[in-house]
């Protein structure tokens, strides 16, 4: 995730997300790197196709990770980064 994308993610999250961590009740969030979810069917088999870019937000107190869709947030454009797997 670029610094610009990180700033866009933080701005989008501040505009829509309110309140503490739903697990521990603390206000200790950080934006982690962008992740791509590999789609799979109900049997667990991997489905070849586009990935879903997500912004991962982690609570620094309890380590809960919350995924947010990057495209609707305006962090990425539809189709951007397709085929690129993030470590």
Give pLDDT tens digits along the chain (87 positions): 788 989 999 999 999 888 999 999 999 999 987 777 767 677 877 777 777 888 999 999 999 999 999 999 998 888 765 544 443
Q: Distances in Å between the alpha carbon of 34 and those of 19, 24, 41, 82, 85?
A: 22, 23, 23, 13, 10
Q: How far apart are CA 53 and CA 86, in angstroms?
A: 10
**Residue 21: predicted pLDDT:** 95
């Amino acid at each position: 995730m670029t610094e610009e994308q990180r700033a866009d993610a933080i701005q989008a999250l501040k505009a829509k997300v309110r309140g503490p961590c739903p697990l521990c009740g603390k206000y200790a969030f950080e934006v982690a790197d962008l992740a791509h979810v590999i789609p799979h069917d109900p049997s667990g088999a991997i489905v070849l196709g586009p990935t879903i870019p997500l912004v991962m937000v982690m609570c620094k107190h309890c380590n809960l990770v919350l995924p947010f869709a990057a495209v609707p947030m305006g962090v990425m454009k539809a189709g951007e980064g397709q085929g690129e797997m993030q470590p």
